[in-house]
Structure 1
Amino acid sequence: MIGVEFIQGIVEEISNSKLNCTPLFVARYPVGVNYRVKTILSDIESNDIHMIGIYGPSGIGKTTIAKAIFNRICDRFEGFSYLENIKEKSGTNASVIELQETLLFEILGDKNLKVENLLGGCDWFAFGSRIIITTRDKHLLATLGKGCSTYEVKELDNDEALELFSMHACHGNKLKEDYLELAYQAIHYAKGLPLALEIMGAELYGRTTQEWKNILNACNLYPLFGIQKLVDKSLITLSEYNALSMHDLVQQMGREIVRQESLQMLGRRSRLWCYEDVLEVVIENMV
C-alpha cells in the first residue's frame, strides 16, 4: 500500500517540475531581441561563464533580453528562478529574506533553507550554473570579479527602430506614407531606445497625423523630446501593457513634496498612500 507521504512527495515533485514552467513574457514586438540573445548565448556557451551581466540605460531592453535568454535555457537546468525588481524589493531585511526564500524554493523546492546574501562571487556556484544580471551600473558588475562576462546593450539601428515604432503605431500593419515623416521624427528623438519608441508608437496608434500635431501643440510639453529625456535619466519605464511607471527616486521625491504640504496634519495633505495614515485620518475625522 502506497503511503500518503510518498504520494505527497510525488505531487510536490511534479508541481516543481520544469514541465510546468510558463515562459516569461518577453515583449509584444521583440524587434532586435533575437540577434542580441544569440550574441550573448554564444558567449555563455563558448566559455565556462557563471555570470552574465547585461548593462545599459533604462529603456534599452536589458530585462527583455534577459527574459528571452531565460526562456531559451531554463529547461537545461534541474532548477531555475527568475527574480525581478530586486533593488525595489530589497529595501528591508524582511524583503531580502522573502527574496531568498523565493529563490531557494523555486530552485530546490525547500521553504526552510536560508542564506545570508542573494548573490556573492562567481565561486559561490557549482559548475554549469548560470546567473543573468541586469543593471544600469556597469561598475557593479566589475565587483563580481572573474567569471562574470559583461554585455552592453546597444541602441536599435534605424531599420530596427522604424520596425518597432511601426509595430506599435500600426499594430503590425504597414506604416502609411503620410506617417513616415512623423515616424522618422520619433525615431530621431528616441535615438534607438526601445522604450521611447514603444511609448510614442502606442500614443500615435489610432490617431490621424493632424490629431497627433494638435495634441503636441495643445500640451506645449514637447512629449517626443520630453519622454526621451525622462527615459535617458531612467525616470520612467513601460510595462508589457504599456503602463507607465516612475523611478523609485521620483516617487520618493513626490512623496516628500506632499509631506511638506503639512508636516503635522495628515488631513491637509493632497494625497495619502500609507494605510496607517489613511486609517488615522478616517478615525480622527481629519478630512
Structure 2
Amino acid sequence: MRGKKAGIFLNGRKMKISNVSEGLTKIEDAISSRKVLLVLDDVDHMDQLDAAHQVTKVHEVETLHYKESLKLFSWHAFGQDHPIEGYKEYSEKLVHHSGGLPLALKVIGSSLLGESIDVWKSALEKLEAIPDGEIVNKQRVSYDSLQDDHDRNLFLHIACFFIGKDKDYIVNILDGCDLYTIFGIQNLMDRCLVSIDEFDNVHMHDMIRGMGREIIRQESEKPWKRSRVWQHKDSSIS
C-alpha cells in the first residue's frame, strides 16, 4: 500500500484504508452487531483461519444449515436458489447426503447441472456407495498434509472404527499401537479432520469419513486384502 490507499466495500459504499490493521478494524466495527454467515471452503489448516478470526472473534467454522445448503446446491445445479419442478426430492436427498459441507454441495450440484432425473437417481445411489472422486481428491489435501504415517494411520483408524467414541477410550486403545494418540488427535483437529464435543467424544464429518474409507477401499478390490475392514460382510473370504 505504499503511496496509495486501498479500498473496501462496506454497506454498499467504498471506504479508503491505509493499512491492513485499519481495514480489519473497520470490518469488525461494521459487522460486530450483526448476524453473519461465514462460509469457509477448502480449508486445509487452522492457521488459514487466523485472519477471519481477527475479524469475527467468536465465529466458529461450521457446516451450513439445511436451508442455506439447499440454496447453495440449487445455485450450482439449477442456476437459481431453489430446485426446479420434478427435482426437489432428489435435491433434498443429495443435500442431506452432503451434510452441509460447501465443497460437496458445489461439486455435486455442478456435476448434475442439466442432467436428467435418471442421472440424478443414479448419482445418488453411487454417492451412497462410493464418495464422489473430485470431492475425495480435494479433501485428501488435508490428509496428505499430515506430517507422518502415525497421524495418517490415526485418521484412518478413527474414520473406520472410532467415530463418536470417547477420546480417552481411543487413546487407551491406540497408544498401544505407538500412534501418540493425544498429539495426533490435536493434529487432526488443526486440519479440521476431526472435532471433539462437550462430552469429549471424537467426531468426523460424514464426507470426511467417506474420504477416509475410500482411501482404504482403493487399497484392493478384495476387501479382505485391505488394511482395515469395518463391515462384517467384507471380513470373510469368498
TM-score range, shorter chain: 0.3 to 0.5
TM, length-normalised to structure 2: 0.39
Larger radius of gyration: 1
| Length-normalised TM-score, structure 1 | 0.33
Question: Greater relative contact order: 1 or 2 (C-alpha under 8 angstroms, separation 6 or more)?
Answer: 1
